[in-house]
Structure 1
Amino acid sequence: MGCTAQVWLEARMDADGNMRLKADSDSEITKGFCSCLIWVLDGAEPEEVLNLKTEDLGAWSVVGLQGRSNSRVNTWHNVLIGMQKRTKDLVAEREGKPPGEPFPSLVITADGIHAKGSYAEAARFLLPDELKIQELVNVLREKRIGVVAHFYMDPEVQGVLTAAQKHWPHIHISDSLVMADTAVKMANAGCQYITVLGVDFMAENVRAILDQAGFSEVGVYRMSSERIGCSLADAASNPAYMDYIEAASMASPSLHVVYINTSLETKANAHELVPTITCTSSNVVQTILQAFAQVPGLNVWYGPDTYMGTNIVELFQQMAVMTDDEIAEIHPEHNQDTIRSLLPRMHYYQDGTCMVHHLFGHEVVEKIKEMYCDAFLTAHFEVPGEMFSLTMEAKKRGMGVVGSTQNMLDFITDRVQEALDRNVNDHLQFILGTESGMVTSIVAAVRGLLRSGRVKVNVEIVFPVSSDSVTRTSSGSSNGLSSGEVGNFMEVPIIPGVATGEGCSIHGGCASCPYMKMNSLNSLLKVCHHLPEQKHDLLAYEAARLNLQTRHGKLIADVGCEPILHMRHFQATKSLPEKLIYQILHPCGNGKSTAFS
């Protein structure tokens, strides 16, 4: 995988315990690259094969790879890693070590899916109940209700919504930023109510953005009468976070870059202390680099996700040793000198984590290195540094992506489309480094591509979990599953995502957010059926307007939306708005930005 041409690799161990390697390719250039590796490693001791690092190949590139495309260099690196994986397997076999327990996975084909391993026992999303679909579509259409939902929902709910989309266009599943934007489009199209399947800050954002867009009469409803929290948003609501922002206000000029996954109250209170712009996992790097480019001597204070902050700093440290041309490809206004100069002025909060992405720790990373080093890696920007570094290394070889949920989905579908375009049978394996609910959108997108292909391409989505994090199926369950075989749901083996988060382990995780799983299909139907006649029964479900005020007497809803609008300006123009630049350069003596004096 990851090679532009087709490459075949054979590895065995001879009687003396040395590695014997063969390789072939349908590309003459690639065959030549493989021959170089064979020349160096065929007949070598296993340790020699395993100790060769991909960076060692950099010296060879001076001789043989100058002027060659990155895809050719990636082929060389990927074949080496394939050799090392097979070497590890043969060494373990020689030493009589039992093979490692693989991570659970789903294999997606044009005909259906096949479950490998145990992780949960709900596969209803594959063939959702037609009566439930019709019931939902009828009530949404009758009452003009739009649905915005996050990728991390329970797969069963996503399955019903995905099927219902074909009959009612005002259903949208996305990451958190797009949810509010889509709600505005739904209101423009005549929706009277918006239901939000996510956590509370997402419903809060939808409510505030609709008000800003002039749709205050459109109702917004959450999916629970109880609080639907978020560990990351909670971290930013801690007084320690405001202490961090207070410290930032003492340094001038300063910009606070706050993750979108925080409450409006956090955004508003911070913005009155330090000029603030929101960011997402897909645009945070460009936002920060653009800010440093536009404001000389700027201090950037990122929060609240500690892992993301750590990963941003590591990325900038990697950029500091790149060539100016390589840096310019990432951001055209930066070079080696500017990147090195900004590092001391890049700050991040030290005590904020997402409870799901925290689980992609050391145990998971070591197992990926051991058993999946030749697979495609995808990782959310919120994962711990070890997983981030591993995936960034894979990215250099064309084998990985780090970013938002949408970035990950795009990477998977792009690789699948490339495999179909090659017009050869193939098996692609992807490590999913984010919340397991993401699998529903992946299955839908990949199945759509595979049905249009003329060749047999299989796509395996691997879920990194520890052995303590699985739910076993019943003894009568089958190990195989295709969409045509689903009859009795009790007999369906698995899909990833333990219901309500039960069965999770701190040793590697089940990558399932218990807060997101509070968004049930029953709650959605209850809210829809009660509208509008029984609205009084839904008071606890309503996303109320924030009438609270900041410490300087401004409405939190108004002040908290401004950092979001600053980000929208950046996304549209690739530059920070003049208003924000003015706030950065002209702070007031009492700590609040000029715009709110």
Structure 2
Amino acid sequence: MQTSSFSRSSSLGHHCHKQPTQRHGYSHRQTCADVSLHYRSLVSSSASAQIESRAYDGVLSVSRVVQRYSSVDDAKEKARMLLAAGRQLPDFPDSEKTAVNRVMGCTSQVWVSARLESTGCVQFSGTSDSELSRGLCAVLVEALSGLKPEEVLQVDDSMLQDLALGSALLQPSRANGFSNMLETMRRRARALLLPGSPNTVQLFPSLRITASELTPQGVFAEAQAQYLAPDQKQVDKLVDVLSSKKMGVVAHFYMDPEVQGVLMSAAERWPHIYISDSLVMADTAVKMAKEGCRYIAVLGVDFMSENVRAILDEAGYSDVAVYRMSPDTISCSLAVAAESKSYIRYLEEASATPNSLHVVYINTSLVTKATADSLVPTITCTSSNVVQTVLQAFHQVPEATVWYGPDTYMGRNLAQLFTSLSTMPDEEVKAIHPHHSASSVKDLLPRLKYFEDGTCIVHHIFGGEVCEQVRLFYGDAYLAAHFEVPGEMFTLAMQAKRRGMGVVGSTSNILDFIANKVQEALSRPHGDVLKFVLGTEAGMVTSIVRKIQGMLAHAARHDIEVEIVFPVASKSISTAQQQPSTSDQAPLLLPGGLAVLPGPASGEGCSLEGGCAACPYMRMNTLDALLSVADKVGSGAGESLLTAFKPKPYSDLIKGKTVAQAGCVPILHMRHFQKNKGLSEDLVQDIKTRHA
């Protein structure tokens, strides 16, 4: 009997769990912790009754279906069986062909519904507008109907391999569709373990987007949506002052929604406003300088304004002034970690190891880049090119040891990704890097090092409780995760990616992924609902909304809805304990000294773990600060008040170069890599000879 598609180690008791008679929905403030606890208690109480030696009906049900298909060798006969199974599916009422019942990620339209019988077992129904997809749906409906919800959860993707349908029937899109159908059914089974309707459980806040409307679900989403349609008077004021002063603005995706909303509207009338990830900000500033801008306002953390200043100087625009948005330090937990004594010790260990290359995340200060390069050959990277940078380094210098830092999560994710690659077929490895194989990746693993004491306070939240909720209740949604998220979320995103439902990368990668999925929906003649879990800073939503609504409006498609889910930790909910109880009590502080910011009443604020999915340091870049700086530039009296708003000049010398010049060297190495798809000869020679 074949049972590989059904967990052998945790067979649950035969008697189906009866659903509680009281049925009610969950409010958002109840959900994350309460629903998880309720779900775990149900599963645990059932698991306590398991009898390992008993062959349950659930195992037999799945195995019978698997055996029927796997015992047939002829591909045409299997196709006939699938088509026949699809035709035998009971009629699926048109009233149930709703967006709620749609399976996301399928190129054809597939609908699935589930109900809990009085016996406590699940009865699935489904259909598709494609004959083969309908057949695959029929296989799952037959195999899973009659199981307890707990048993449905134990059926995994290996069932697809066990069916042995072959590549002729299972092209990648259909294989992904089968996996997405199964994941949707598992989600429905989980929901059936909860009190309330399976279709109404709302764990996380979300923002629903159509061509003409925005509908926030939950206070946090309301806060994000509030400024997407900005006050036109503020837009006019900003355009007037920027254009009159010939001032450009480069801002990061993680800006506050109020600021981004005004900036995006102003950019329609003043072309020298640009919102991007950190890599593009400096390049855009150079372009603005070439086009006549005399001042550049940088809305980001301090290393971003420092990079802009240094790159402008390298490009010959030292006369163009650069301003930050605060006289105080606009910090970053990663940048702080990279300037710690422990990171210096990490670099000293690298410098004592022959053939070492330090790959440093671009989200660090010029001091870090300059200091690092003085100790060990260093190249910067971004979350979108780090994989290629590391693999190319090992290709060009096979004996190299690569030291990545300072982001611990990204380092762990790299190691996890390469470990996975080392077990894949060579053709899959070569699709990622043409000069590597599973064997070469396995060989490099002992020589890939990463710093173990640096995290982003925002991306830190995408693990633990948040990750559990995403896994349990959003497994059939698209998952867009930044490369900096903890390993649990990274694993989920990579699993989703393998079935066409996820992306792991930079903020730009995430925006492109969402836009591509929307474009795919637009290419189909029928309406659709797409749900994306946003595994990065919530400030990205402004760019996402603008992009999506522009695409939908241009196509005049009002039958497509996109939902952006904010996976906010329960710890992010504002509480009295997060604020001083007396006037003399010191406020709670985040790393770097910034006080905890309370969120909207009854909504989500910033926790000590950054649980609001919003960077408190980025929130120091206010619209008022931008207008104040812009008002002062251009006059001697005004600019004298802006001295503290300028990036640090870093004029100290390191090996005959200023810190700013030395800090640009690793950035220029990355520029060469991006342009030529390889490390420069100078860098390769430095790696081989620096500590030979």
Is the pair's TM-score, using the shorter chain for normalization, greater than 0.5?
Answer: yes
Greater C-alpha radius of gyration? 2
1:16 and 2:89 equivalent? no
Distance 2:320 2:226 in 1: 32
1:488-508 deviation digits (Å, cap 9, x = unpaired): xxxxxxxx9869x98223578
2:210–2:562 CA contact under 8 A, matched in 1: yes
Q: Secondary structure in 2 aligned to 1:558?
A: helix
Change (3 A) 1:98 1:446: closer
Residue 110 of structure 1 is matched in structure 2 by 211
1:180 and 2:282 equivalent? yes
1:424–1:455 CA contact under 8 A, matched in 2: no
Given candidates 449, 466, 469, the residue that maps to 2:572 is 469
Q: Secondary structure in 2 aligned to 1:267?
A: helix
Residue 432 of structure 2 is matched in structure 1 by 330
1:436–1:497 CA contact under 8 A, matched in 2: no
Deviates more, 1:564-573 or 1:67-76: 67-76
Residue 257 of structure 1 is matched in structure 2 by 359
1:268 corresponds to which letter in structure 2?
A: A
Mapping of residues 183-262 of structure 1, within 5 Å: 183-262=285-364
Change (3 A) 1:99 1:145: closer
Given candidates 659, 662, 672, the residue that maps to 1:556 is 659
1:118–1:471 CA contact under 8 A, matched in 2: no
Given candidates 37, 42, 46, the residue that maps to 2:145 is 42
Distance 2:200 2:560 in 1: 26
Distance 1:97 1:81 in 2: 14
1:118–1:470 CA contact under 8 A, matched in 2: no
Given candidates 645, 652, 658, the residue that maps to 1:541 is 645
1:341 corresponds to which letter in structure 2?
A: D
Deviates more, 1:381-390 or 1:101-110: 101-110
1:360–1:508 CA contact under 8 A, matched in 2: no
1:65–1:73 CA contact under 8 A, matched in 2: no
Displacement of 1:101 after TM fit? 4.9
Deviates more, 1:132-141 or 1:515-524: 132-141
1:161 and 2:285 equivalent? no
2:573–2:599 CA contact under 8 A, matched in 1: no
Distance 1:302 1:98 in 2: 44
Distance 2:641 2:329 in 1: 16
Residue 411 of structure 1 is matched in structure 2 by 513
Q: Secondary structure in 1 aligned to 2:343?
A: helix
Distance 1:549 1:508 in 2: 36
1:227-246 deviation digits (Å, cap 9, x = unpaired): 10000000001111111010
Mapping of residues 80-119 of structure 1, within 5 Å: 80-93=182-195, 101-119=202-220
1:279-325 deviation digits (Å, cap 9, x = unpaired): 00000001000100110211000000000000000000111110000
Change (3 A) 1:346 1:93: same
Distance 1:257 1:402 in 2: 19
1:210 corresponds to which letter in structure 2?
A: L
Residue 13 of structure 2 is matched in structure 1 by none
2:539–2:614 CA contact under 8 A, matched in 1: yes
2:530 corresponds to which letter in structure 1?
A: L
Given candidates 379, 394, 413, the residue that maps to 1:292 is 394
Mapping of residues 546-585 of structure 1, within 5 Å: 546-550=650-654, 552-585=655-688
Q: Secondary structure in 1 aligned to 2:606?
A: coil
Mapping of residues 265-414 of structure 1, within 5 Å: 265-414=367-516
Q: Secondary structure in 2 aligned to 1:584?
A: helix
Deviates more, 1:71-80 or 1:81-90: 81-90
Identity of aligned residues (%): 55
Deviates more, 1:565-574 or 1:12-21: 12-21
Displacement of 1:261 after TM fit? 0.3
Residue 491 of structure 1 is matched in structure 2 by none
Displacement of 1:97 after TM fit? 11
1:148 corresponds to which letter in structure 2?
A: V
Distance 1:133 1:140 in 2: 11
Displacement of 1:350 after TM fit? 0.6
1:532 and 2:532 equivalent? no
1:92–1:99 CA contact under 8 A, matched in 2: no
2:250–2:275 CA contact under 8 A, matched in 1: yes
1:365-409 deviation digits (Å, cap 9, x = unpaired): 111122211111111011110111011111111111110001111
Displacement of 1:574 after TM fit? 0.8
1:428 and 2:530 equivalent? yes
Higher relative contact order (CA 8 A, sep 6+): 1
1:498–1:510 CA contact under 8 A, matched in 2: no
Residue 475 of structure 1 is matched in structure 2 by none
Q: Secondary structure in 2 aligned to 1:167?
A: coil
Q: Secondary structure in 2 aligned to 1:391?
A: helix
Distance 1:401 1:260 in 2: 20
RMSD: 2.1
Distance 1:275 1:13 in 2: 62
Change (3 A) 1:99 1:11: closer
Structure 2, unpaired ranges of 5+: 1-103, 576-597
Displacement of 1:537 after TM fit? 0.9
1:251-276 deviation digits (Å, cap 9, x = unpaired): 11110000000001100111011100
1:412 corresponds to which letter in structure 2?
A: I
Displacement of 1:69 after TM fit? 2.2
1:128–1:160 CA contact under 8 A, matched in 2: yes
Deviates more, 1:116-125 or 1:77-86: 116-125
Q: Secondary structure in 1 aligned to 2:173?
A: helix
Q: Secondary structure in 2 aligned to 1:63?
A: coil
Displacement of 1:130 after TM fit? 1.4
1:128-151 deviation digits (Å, cap 9, x = unpaired): 121211111111111110100000
2:455 corresponds to which letter in structure 1?
A: T
1:328-381 deviation digits (Å, cap 9, x = unpaired): 111110001101000000000010000100011210011112221111111101
1:462-501 deviation digits (Å, cap 9, x = unpaired): 10112342469xxxxxxxxxxxxxxxxxxxxxxx9869x9
Distance 1:508 1:538 in 2: 30
1:143 and 2:226 equivalent? no
Distance 2:364 2:154 in 1: 44
Change (3 A) 1:97 1:150: closer
Distance 1:436 1:132 in 2: 23
Normalised to the residue count of structure 1, the TM-score between the two structures is 0.91
Deviates more, 1:306-315 or 1:505-514: 505-514
2:249–2:296 CA contact under 8 A, matched in 1: yes
Distance 1:103 1:63 in 2: 38
Residue 440 of structure 1 is matched in structure 2 by 542
1:359–1:506 CA contact under 8 A, matched in 2: no
Change (3 A) 1:147 1:227: same
Displacement of 1:326 after TM fit? 0.6
Distance 2:647 2:599 in 1: 27
Q: Secondary structure in 2 aligned to 1:321?
A: coil
Distance 2:569 2:273 in 1: 34
Change (3 A) 1:503 1:455: closer
Q: Secondary structure in 1 aligned to 2:415?
A: helix
Q: Secondary structure in 1 aligned to 2:645?
A: coil
1:124-175 deviation digits (Å, cap 9, x = unpaired): 4222121211111111111110100000011101111000001110000000
2:634 corresponds to which letter in structure 1?
A: P
1:415-454 deviation digits (Å, cap 9, x = unpaired): 1111111121111111111111111101110110111233
Distance 1:105 1:98 in 2: 15
Mapping of residues 59-70 of structure 1, within 5 Å: 59-60=162-163, 62-65=164-167, 68-70=170-172
Distance 2:600 2:359 in 1: 34
Distance 1:374 1:508 in 2: 26
Distance 1:122 1:10 in 2: 32
Distance 2:401 2:474 in 1: 40
